[in-house]
Structure 1
Amino acid sequence: MVGAHPKWGYVDQPPFTPLLLRLCADVFGDTVWAIRLPGVAYIVAAAFLLALIAREAGGGAVAQTLAASGVLTTFVLVATHISITAAPDLLMWLLVILCVLRAMLRGRERYWLLAGLLVGLALYNKHLVILLLLTFAAGVLVLGPRKVLLSRWLWAGLGIALVVGLPNLLYQIANDYPQLDMAAALAENKGDEARVTLLPLQLVWLGPLFVPVWVAGIVTLLRNPELRPVRALGLAYPLMLVLLFVVAGQPYYTVGLLAALFAIGTVPVERRVTRRWILAAGAAVNAGFAILTSLPVLPVGVVGGTPIPAINQGISDQVGWRRYVRQVADVYDALPEQDKPRTVLLTGNYGEAGALDRYGKALGLPDVYSGQNELWWLGPPPPSATVVVLVTQGDPGRSAAFGSCEHKADLDNGYGVENEEQTARVFVCRGLTGTWAELWPSFQHFD
C-alpha cells in the first residue's frame, strides 16, 4: 500500500523495497508472482557474492560452490520469498564486505569509494548497515590494522555514503526520527523475546549443519595470517551480538555478516574435508530442511498438521488471506444499502489492510485504513465515513472513538493453521464520538 505513495522514507522503513514491489506490480501486473521476481534476483545475486567472498578468502571451486549454497538456507529463503527489507539488505552487506576484503587484502584502496556508495544506497532500504560499520570499526580499533582508519580513501568513501544517503537522513531529521520510534516500539513489544532468542536463532538462520562452517570462518579470520588485515570481521560478529542484546535488536540483524563468515569458513572446510560427498550430502540435507520449513511447498491443507507453522511464522502468515477478505466482505454486504456509501474499512495491522486493499476491490469493498506504522499517515478517513467495518485482535469497547461496536464475525482461514488473523474479529461500529481529524491520533500505533 505504501508503495503507491512515493516518499524519501516511511515511518517503518526506508523507501526502496515498497517502491520496487510497486514497480514490479506496475510493469508485470498486479500478481503474486510479479512481486516474487525481486526475490529470485536476490537469491541469484547472493549466491554469486558468497562465491566471490569465498574466492577472496582463498577458496577454490569447492569452497565457492559450498559458499553459494548458503542461499538455500532458512532465513535467506524466507526473506527473499516474502520480499521483506532484509533480502536486499543481505545483498548490500555482502557487497560492502566484498569491497572491504578487496580493499584490505589486495591493497586496492579505491574499493573504499565503492563501499561508501553501497552504504549510501543501502540506507534507502534499511539502516542496519550502520550496525556493520560500527562493529567492524570497533574490531579494527581492537585488532587492527588501525592505520586503515587514516586512509584518505576510507574517509572519502564515508563522505560518499553521507552524500548519497543524505536525502533519506534528512527525511528522518525532518520527521523527528521515525525509525527511532519504530526501533523503540520493537524493543518494547519484542525486546525480551529478542534477547532470549538471540543466540539460539543464530544456529538456525543458515541451518544447523552449516554452524561449524561459519564458526570456522570466525576462527580462520582470527588465526590465519593471510587474512590478518580483515580479522576485525571475526570480532565484529560477537560485538554485534553484544550490541543487539543491549539494545534489544532483532536476532536476524546479524544474517548479512553471518553469511559472509560462512563463505569465509568454506575455505578451511574445502582444505580439510577431502571426502566431497560429505559436503554435498550436508549441503543437500541443509537445503532440504530449509526449503521444507521456509517455503510453502506443502499443500495448505497439510501444513496445519505439521510443526512448520510454529517453526516459521512466515508460512502461517501466508495462509487464508482470500478467505479472510471474503469474510469481511460478507459483513460489508450485510449492511443496509444506505450505510454502504458512508462505510470504510479499518484494520488493526498492515497485513489485514494490505489483503483488503489487494483483494477487496474485486468484491466491491470500500477504502481501507489502518493506524499501524506508516499506514496511519494515509488517513484519516473522510468526514463522510460514519460507519466502520473494523477488523481487530483487540477489544473495540476499549476505544472511545465509537458509540457502539457490534461483533459480526470471527476470521477463520478454514485450514486449521494458527496465525495472527485467527484471533481477529470483525465489528460494525457506529456513532463516532468526534471528527476523524480529532479521533485519528488515537489510532496510531507502532509495532
Structure 2
Amino acid sequence: MNDDGAATRLPAFAVREITAIAAVLAVVLLSLSGRYGYHRDELYFLAAGRHPAWGYVDQPPLTPMLARVSTTVFGDSVVGLRVVALLLAIATVFVAALITRELGGGRGPQILTSAAVATSSMVMVAGHMLGTPSTDILVWALVGLLTIRLLRTQEPRWYAVIGLVVGIGFLNKFLVVLLAVALLASIALLGPRRVLLSWWLAAGIAIAALVAAPTLIWQATHDWPQLTVAQGISDDDGAENRIMFIPSQFILLAPPYALLWIAGIWRMLRDPDVRWSRSIPVAYGLLVVVMLATGGKPYYVIGLLIVLLAAGAQPVLQWCTERGMTSILVTVIVVSAVLNAVVTLPVLPRTEVNTVNGINREQGEQIGWPQMVDTVAEVWESIPESDRSTAVIFTQNYGQAGAVDRYGPDHGLPQAYSGHMSYADWGPPDDGMTGPVILVRFPDRAAIEDSFVDCRSVARVDNGYGVDNTEQGTVVAVCSGPRGPWSKVWPDLRHYY
C-alpha cells in the first residue's frame, strides 16, 4: 500500500476475454466498413494526406497522415482507409479494461468495461470511420489510465509517458491540452499534491511541447488559422452545442451506460479505496464547464467519460451480482449493442437510411459520392473537347472536391479545386485556366456564382437512394470562367465554414 492507501498489487488482466470482445468488434467493423462509402471528412483526409504538412488550417497533421499510411498499407479503398480506425477502437477497448484493473477491478469488472466500451455508440462510430475522434478518444482514455497509474503509484516518472501521449494527441487535436490542464488543476485542488512536486512534471511538459512543436510552429507561421476555424464553429454551432451538451453525455455511449459512469464518479469521490483518484471526475466537471462556456461539441470529452465508465464497472457489477441481476445486465449490453450498431454502422439498406438519419446524420453522409461524381463527369463530357484544356472543376466544399479527386480519374476528370479549408491552400488554378468552370454548389448557396461569369445550372445530384443528406440536390453549373484571373479572385473564394 502507498501512503494514501492505494493497493500496489493489481488483479490479473483478463486478456483472453477482452481479446475475444475486441475480436468480435473487429469482425463487425471490418465486415461493414465498405458497405456504404466514404464520409466527406474521410475524402478530405485522403486529399490532405496527399499534401503532407505539419498542419492544416483546420487540424493538425496526424489524421491525414494516418489516412495515407492506412491506404498505403491496406489498400486505396474505403475498407483500407478504415483499418487504422478499427485498430484504434480495439486499443481503446483494451485501455478501458486496464483502467478498471488499475482501480482494483478483477476479471468480471474488466469484462463489463470492455463489453460496454466496445458496444458504445461513439467507439463504434470512431472505429467505423476514420476521423479525429478515432485517435482522440484513445488518447484521452490513455492519458486517463496513465494519470491513474501516476496517482496510484505516486511514481513521477509516469509524467514522461503522459507528456509523450499528450504531445502525440496534440498532433491530432489541440483539445488534449485542456485535458492536461484540467487534470493538473484538479490534482492541485484535491491532491495528492506531492505528485506535482517533481522535476518529472517539467520533463513531461517539455516532452509534450517537443512532440507538438512542429505543428505549433506551422500554426504560428500561418497566423493561427485553426483558431479562426474554432471560432467559426463556436459562432455557428455554439448555441446548439451548449443546449445539447449535457443530454448528449447520457446518449453518446448509450443511455444505460450512464449508470456506469455515474457510478464511476461516485466511487472515485466517495470510496476510500480509490479516493486518491478523485481528481479524475473533478477534471471531467471542469471540462464540462469549459465546453459549455466555449460551445464545444458534446463528444469532445467522451474519452474521459470512458475513464469514468471504467471506474464504475466494479460497483455496478457487484450491485447486480448481489441481487441476482447479472442476466439483466447482459441483456442491457446486448440490446445496447444492437441499437447502437443500427444507428451508427451501415447495417440498414441504403434506401432505409433516412430511418436513422435524424439521430445520426453521419450515416447518410457516406452515401452518394460516386453518383455526384458521375453527374460531374456527364457535365464534363458536354464541354467541347477543345475547351477542356483550360476548364476547371470548382466545388463549394472539401467533400465534393475530395470525391472528384477520388473517383474522377476513372472518368478522365482533372483534379478539383475548392476554396474550402486547406483545399484553398492547394490552389488556385493557373491563370491560364480561363474556363469554362464546372461549379459544384449547394442549392442555397447561389451567391458563389457572383465570383464567376455567365453561370447556368445544368444538372442536380441524385444519390439514387432517396437519402436526405447534404449532397442530395447539389447543383452542377457551367460558368464561362472566373470573374478575373484566378490569382485575383482566389482570396474571395476561401472560406472556413
So what's the TM-score if we normalise by structure 2? 0.87
Shift of 1:313: 1.2
Counterpart in the other structure of 2:397: 349
Secondary structure in structure 2 of the residue aligned to 1:281: helix
Q: Which amino acid aligns with 2:429?
A: P
Counterpart in the other structure of 1:148: 195
Shift of 1:161: 1.0
**Residue of structure 2 aligned with 1:11, choices 41, 57, 66:** 57
Counterpart in the other structure of 1:218: 265
1:280-328 deviation line (CA, Å, top 9, x unaligned): 1111111111111000011112223x2x011111101011111111111
Counterpart in the other structure of 1:263: 310
For the residues of structure 1 that align with 2:467 and 2:187, how far apart are their CA atoms? 48
Shift of 1:398: 5.1
Q: Please say if 1:413 is aligned against 2:463.
A: yes
Counterpart in the other structure of 1:75: 122
Shift of 1:138: 2.5
Shift of 1:150: 2.0
Q: How does 1:251-290 map to 2 (within 5 A)?
A: 251-274=298-321, 275-290=325-340
Q: Please say if 1:295 is aligned against 2:345.
A: yes
Please say which of residues 150-159 and 419-428 is displaced more in the overlay: 150-159
Q: Please say if 1:387 is aligned against 2:436.
A: yes
For the residues of structure 2 that align with 1:423 and 1:366, how far apart are their CA atoms? 23
For the residues of structure 2 that align with 1:423 and 1:136, how far apart are their CA atoms? 47
**RMSD of aligned residue pairs (Cα, Å):** 1.4
Shift of 1:97: 1.1
1:390-412 deviation line (CA, Å, top 9, x unaligned): 11114444543212110011111
Q: Which amino acid aligns with 1:405?
A: C
| Contact residue 347 and residue 392 of structure 1 kept, 8 A | yes
For the residues of structure 2 that align with 1:243 and 1:254, how far apart are their CA atoms? 11
For the residues of structure 1 that align with 2:371 and 2:473, how far apart are their CA atoms? 14
Q: Please say if 1:22 is aligned against 2:68.
A: yes
Q: How does 1:36-435 map to 2 (within 5 A)?
A: 36-69=82-115, 70-274=117-321, 275-304=325-354, 306=355, 308-385=356-433, 386-393=435-442, 394-397=444-447, 399-435=449-485
Counterpart in the other structure of 2:21: none
For the residues of structure 1 that align with 2:448 and 2:143, how far apart are their CA atoms? 48
For the residues of structure 2 that align with 1:51 and 1:29, how far apart are their CA atoms? 31
Secondary structure in structure 2 of the residue aligned to 1:157: helix
1:21-46 deviation line (CA, Å, top 9, x unaligned): 11222233211110011122112111
| Contact residue 437 and residue 482 of structure 2 kept, 8 A | no
For the residues of structure 1 that align with 2:194 and 2:207, how far apart are their CA atoms? 20
| Contact residue 97 and residue 114 of structure 2 kept, 8 A | yes
Secondary structure in structure 2 of the residue aligned to 1:153: helix
1:53-73 deviation line (CA, Å, top 9, x unaligned): 010111111111111121221
1:131-153 deviation line (CA, Å, top 9, x unaligned): 21122223223322233322222
| Contact residue 396 and residue 405 of structure 1 kept, 8 A | no
For the residues of structure 2 that align with 1:372 and 1:407, how far apart are their CA atoms? 21
Please say which of residues 135-144 and 51-60 is displaced more in the overlay: 135-144
Counterpart in the other structure of 2:41: none
Secondary structure in structure 2 of the residue aligned to 1:114: helix
| Contact residue 392 and residue 425 of structure 1 kept, 8 A | yes
So what's the TM-score if we normalise by structure 1? 0.96
Shift of 1:103: 1.0
| Contact residue 113 and residue 156 of structure 1 kept, 8 A | yes
**Residue of structure 2 aligned with 1:34, choices 80, 85, 94:** 80
| Contact residue 295 and residue 315 of structure 1 kept, 8 A | yes
Shift of 1:246: 0.8
Shift of 1:173: 1.2
For the residues of structure 2 that align with 1:222 and 1:314, how far apart are their CA atoms? 36
For the residues of structure 2 that align with 1:430 and 1:190, how far apart are their CA atoms? 36
Unaligned runs of 5+ in 2: 1-46
Q: Which amino acid aligns with 2:483?
A: T
Secondary structure in structure 2 of the residue aligned to 1:62: helix
Unaligned runs of 5+ in 1: none
Shift of 1:50: 0.6
Q: Number of residues paired by the alignment?
A: 445
Secondary structure in structure 2 of the residue aligned to 1:339: helix
For the residues of structure 2 that align with 1:397 and 1:135, how far apart are their CA atoms? 44
